[in-house]
Structure 1
């Protein structure tokens, strides 16, 4: 065969090899993107009043598959005010990717206004402030009169941000340039305007299409300057993008159910090289196309089956895989499961039972585990446009894009003048690839250092009594006492005198004792306890914008709340009163059971109660002397747990504060025989007071710290009354805003049944159901019904 015939084959082979190498390189880079998490909170509504409870269901999901994270960890939830102050913090445990919880709005110092619910895990906190979950809410107080007014904002200044498609304007070629318009307070406004050239000629008119966003289509000329004139607003601030004389940029010319059509534009054919187009979804390469050389224009089509639901990053690469131009495209392949919600009726009377059946669709297997959270609330508890955020909008938009997104759930709703596809295209253009979370993750070399925690980490240092030397051979005891149980842990100090107790788990508040001993088991030490409060991520400008732009609370909701409170006050006149004055105890407190304490014997030989003068004794050993017939000794226990480290010179129980001890149980002879040879000389079981009863003494003890610490917040069940023939005519008003809340509804063979009762409020009600399947399928359902005083069968309906 002649050499001339071999050359085309060799060139094709080399080209294919290079193409394969480039694609493999991109795949390896995409696979090396460090994983993080997506965290979403579904709340029962968005408008609250002082004294209400914010009910939520937390979903912790894999960032790419949206499958529930199986590793249990801490969930940090906090409330921030509009001045960026953290006003409330709670800690919850996430199990198997889910966590129910609540925040009580009963702090008397809580002011009304817009707030932010923020939530994060240790891993999300390690990635930075942009990764945590945020949601704006409004909290109001009911006054003697409803004087709330909705004020029209006077617009004195307009700011316009300009976003060229592909990242820059390219001279002498067709360009799309998106824009957003805001007022002086940063709120989006709709505008109309003109594009003017240097000579003052009007080139075109433009207008916003949705939420202050729109697109300007034009061909910029080299060395030309352009200005914007906005109708009705003489004071306009903007920075017109630089016009590049040469370059390669990417544009989207068509997008439909079949796929996306892209155009690569170049205005300098003499500098043409070889190019490729890659499509990525959440850091994973989904499509790679070798374009070859590019003259002035090249069209590339990518089929929909090669793209994934959500944000897809399109990028033009040179032969060295250096990005030249990028574009975000949103694809909706209808992967979400729309839940079917059927009610036993659409109209109800007060205190009538509502029955709901929830049915999944074919996207969910009948054997697949599905976790749902359900809220049924007064329609006025949300803005007039409906929920501003749901699990779909958060997982597909908020968690993928940096910056403020107004009403993200609204982007998936078609309107008469603008479709969902048009809204999403505007969002992709105005946020741009630089705000795409996965771009910043790709730049990280490794996962940030962090430690998965489930519970508190209590740490500190152990020094000698005069704090002149760190003790590297000491021991530290941790004792935790709650109203339900007690437990103890021990750990040695390290070479620098440090100690750490990891994953200390308890609910509500507890009395925590930290005691350090030296190598001789003496408490001639000083023990410190580091700050164990979780570090709150900084509040970002986007979060401030969320609070600032939240819709005003409807006047109808404020009026209804005021009227409801007046009616409730007739039955509960002291509803909001604070009890001040003397409290008389008219009965003895019942003796507490040994619930939560370890006790393997039936009855002790002797029980020594603490009397009033017990606190005058230096320790429990001195107190017991002379009070136990025949003396005492043998092994020592605290709440049934044997204490080690006792020798002829030191007994660690002498360091227990006397005010912590409730009683001492002495076991002798047969009762102590259960401890075997160790119980031959008897046993002394020291019973500590419950955490809820013990108030730490201000007196300092050698080597001992006593603190009151808040642990996990307990979840309490949402109360939903049931009406029967016995109570349906009760005169006590039922004025609930939330009729039903359940954070843990599961589909059984694709179905779930729910029932609850309406209240006395006459209103329209919304049912919102959100959730995720074990395979990561997003689930959404929505329905509504009306409660009216008249019988539902009357002709008025």
Structure 2
């Protein structure tokens, strides 16, 4: 008879057990993963529209704000794996707002929106948040702008997902609970019935032995998932047959082992029952049963008693967080032999979000007021960060209805599961619970494997440390041979709103890194490298890419219930009407199909550069800033002189070897506005120079402490530096550094005020988008917006997290009636 005991029984820890617990503790303390999530205003779009989104970044264990990364990358990827748009976002607390303006000429198809941090790339198989987004092409002609036919969308929509030729064979797969079947012992198996393209199939069938004797009947339900019990007998091989299959296909089940272990987990309502069993002669003596939820241990128990063949544990879920738990059975030697995932549900760990509108029905261009409240299961007020979209109900699709709860609590820990993971969070029915358990039986833990974790000697050095801001990094190498590198002195000048200067020695491999910075858009930057020694060699600077490189392709959809993604006609019609309105009131916003092609004379970049350089000189260097100016063309014999020799013609006294204008520190050298070293200046010929400006005294303070020794500025006839153009100059590069993306403000009209702009028809499918909602325990948590000109039903969808890491998603419906 199995004994039932609580899960807090003291553990008698052996060396092997201490190693297991120690490695898991190390993981939860030092190697905590990160998770991202994106809420978009809609689930699909047409060309020219804007994807408004909120990126959430959380700790992968407790789902609170991550204390590691502050930088998130968001990418829009086409069906061929090409990254079309990138956004770099700074996450201050839990999230950051963003937007992607879709090109008017974007090809129709299915795209992927992906969010990740560099820190996630340390995982062998990173789990990125990815959302599939269909985008339809709508083309306009000049004849359409006069008015749109009432029953036509002019969208010319074709299928986003192409139908593959031929009919793929049905596949049936079985997954023994705990990982193995043992002869003579009853086991539970998860099953999955899919077609060759990964679509789940609801079918019935039987399990027979090699002699055709029926051992069990089974059926698959939603997503092709199901559960069946089987007690394999000695010498028997088992096969599955599908009812109604005319081709007589049989699918072999996993072979049973003569000796082994069973791990069974059952939801008994009030508690979770975990049962262990074995037919080995030594029994379960010294075995460790370990349970963790996202890396945090909630169960550790050693089985005592030689020859013990069965053992059971009660676990009360009201003491646990919600999410995917992993149970693992280890032998006394520390070898993992059985494993089982189980989804823990605990209503006490949930938060409720209420969105009370002042009415349920509104007229067109009517004001809508929403009262917001966030509370725990006992009604106590909570605080959190949220985002909200208000869209027509035809702009959201059930096929893409996974939300922040289903992603953080389920998919992010076991990988993409089903096309609609939100299905498992909609109600508390027994059928839904059984299907969720079948899903757990057919999937494995994705965050780590036990062999990998246990064989790890110490904390591994991270290839991708967490980013706290914008980092400018790279390597200094030999100018003539980039395979040679060594220590040097690297310096950085950022010419943003504030002038930033920093310098540091590289490591022995020439690596340098500056940061962490915060700025939006892009800023001009100058990097310089100087070698050590009396005769330093010319150096080149190789910058690291501003975005992660060699990224994996978006994951393929394992399940796909719908072969075609069909657009909603009402949505497409309103999207087209909005394009017509946009063109009528703002012609530059929409591209017509037969627009004229503008041609012109190609401009020579060097002419532009010289013109701007001259303008810069006239604007900045002829206002008395310089203390002395040397015109090279007024000096004879410049063919035989170096650029440095021109200084002899200054009214200041320069001697060979003396590089300071003022006594003390050395002068700052500039070549066409770029900081340069004296070695580089000495390598230039005087006949390359247009003129030299020398700045001393108080005027030199414009360059800060670097100008304390004076500034000597050489201006060449060609003009080396201009804007973001990078010129190949030894020891110097000038470039633009990509900053964080600046986000446009979502247009929210106030129709209670008469304005000229309100003459424009309003057929927007997204009426309201607010990415930064901070709910407080006290205060006025209210929002308001106005409806547009399109009647129909609209959804107010709000997602986010409480400050203590509970994901929340809630949707309410309102109606817009033009007769109101």
**TM-score under structure 1 normalisation?**
0.78
Q: Secondary structure at the match of 2:211?
A: coil
CA distance 1:84–1:702, change in 2 (3 Å):
closer
Report Cα offsets for 1:193-237 as digits up to 9, x if no partner: 222332334444322122111112232222222222224545658
Instruction: Select 2:461's aligned residue among 446, 449, 461.
Output: 449
Q: Which moved more, 1:332-341 or 1:524-533?
A: 524-533
Distance 1:148 1:271 in 2: 67
Instruction: Select 2:121's aligned residue among 107, 125, 139.
Output: 125
Structure 2 residue 357 is the aligned partner of structure 1 residue 308: no
Contact 1:166–1:327 (CA<8 Å) still a contact in 2?
yes
Contact 2:386–2:772 (CA<8 Å) still a contact in 1?
yes
Q: Secondary structure at the match of 1:157?
A: coil
Report Cα offsets for 1:302-335 as digits up to 9, x if no partner: 2234543212222334444543322222111121
Which residue is 2:425 aligned to? 412
Which residue is 1:507 aligned to? 520
CA distance 1:732–1:202, change in 2 (3 Å):
same
Contact 2:476–2:488 (CA<8 Å) still a contact in 1?
no
Structure 2 residue 762 is the aligned partner of structure 1 residue 739: no
CA distance 1:787–1:678, change in 2 (3 Å):
closer
Q: Secondary structure at the match of 1:374?
A: strand
Which residue is 2:149 aligned to? none
The 5 Å alignment of 1:316-355 reads 316-334=329-347, 335-355=349-369
Q: Secondary structure at the match of 2:61?
A: coil
Structure 2 residue 40 is the aligned partner of structure 1 residue 43: yes
CA distance 1:233–1:767, change in 2 (3 Å):
farther
The 5 Å alignment of 1:592-611 reads 605=624
Give the RMSD, CA atoms, in angstroms. Answer: 4.8
Distance 1:773 1:219 in 2: 46
Which residue is 1:460 aligned to? 475
CA distance 1:172–1:644, change in 2 (3 Å):
closer
Which residue is 1:580 aligned to? 598
Report Cα offsets for 1:266-311 as digits up to 9, x if no partner: 4x37553425533222223212445546777554322234543212
Q: Secondary structure at the match of 1:220?
A: coil
Report Cα offsets for 1:595-626 as digits up to 9, x if no partner: xxxxxxxx974589x9xx99xx9999999999
Which residue is 1:587 aligned to? none
Distance 2:382 2:411 in 1: 27
CA distance 1:313–1:129, change in 2 (3 Å):
closer
Which residue is 1:272 aligned to? 283
Report Cα offsets for 1:346-396 as digits up to 9, x if no partner: 1122221211111011359978652112222222222136x5322211111
Q: Which moved more, 1:728-737 or 1:114-123?
A: 728-737
Contact 1:356–1:753 (CA<8 Å) still a contact in 2?
yes
Report Cα offsets for 1:725-775 as digits up to 9, x if no partner: 413993312222222222221112256211111222223222222222332
Q: Which moved more, 1:192-201 or 1:206-215?
A: 192-201
Report Cα offsets for 1:13-49 as digits up to 9, x if no partner: xx98847999766643431223222222222222122
Query: What's the offset of the Cα at 1:166?
Result: 1.7
Structure 2 residue 71 is the aligned partner of structure 1 residue 59: no
Which residue is 1:30 aligned to? 24
Query: What's the offset of the Cα at 1:685?
Result: 9.5
Query: What's the offset of the Cα at 1:493?
Result: 5.0
Q: Which moved more, 1:563-572 or 1:279-288?
A: 563-572
Report Cα offsets for 1:484-504 as digits up to 9, x if no partner: 555333344555555443445
Structure 1: where are the runs of 5+ without partners?
Answer: 1-14, 584-591, 593-602, 688-692, 792-797
Which residue is 2:434 aligned to? 422
Structure 2 residue 808 is the aligned partner of structure 1 residue 768: no
Q: Secondary structure at the match of 2:114?
A: strand
Report Cα offsets for 1:510-537 as digits up to 9, x if no partner: 3333334455999983423234243346
Distance 2:263 2:680 in 1: 82
Which residue is 1:722 aligned to? 750
Which residue is 1:138 aligned to? 134
Structure 2 residue 403 is the aligned partner of structure 1 residue 375: no
Structure 2 residue 355 is the aligned partner of structure 1 residue 357: no
CA distance 1:704–1:271, change in 2 (3 Å):
closer
Contact 1:458–1:501 (CA<8 Å) still a contact in 2?
yes
Distance 2:109 2:323 in 1: 34
Which residue is 1:195 aligned to? 207
Contact 1:606–1:667 (CA<8 Å) still a contact in 2?
no
Which residue is 1:244 aligned to? 257
Structure 2 residue 797 is the aligned partner of structure 1 residue 783: no
CA distance 1:620–1:723, change in 2 (3 Å):
farther
Which residue is 1:393 aligned to? 406
Contact 1:71–1:95 (CA<8 Å) still a contact in 2?
no
**TM-score under structure 2 normalisation?**
0.76
Q: How many residues align?
A: 738
Query: What's the offset of the Cα at 1:567?
Result: 4.9
Q: Which moved more, 1:517-526 or 1:81-90?
A: 517-526
Which residue is 1:384 aligned to? 398
Report Cα offsets for 1:130-175 as digits up to 9, x if no partner: 3332222222212463444679887442122211112122223322
Query: What's the offset of the Cα at 1:343?
Result: 0.6
Distance 1:20 1:474 in 2: 51
Query: What's the offset of the Cα at 1:582?
Result: 6.1
Query: What's the offset of the Cα at 1:398?
Result: 1.5
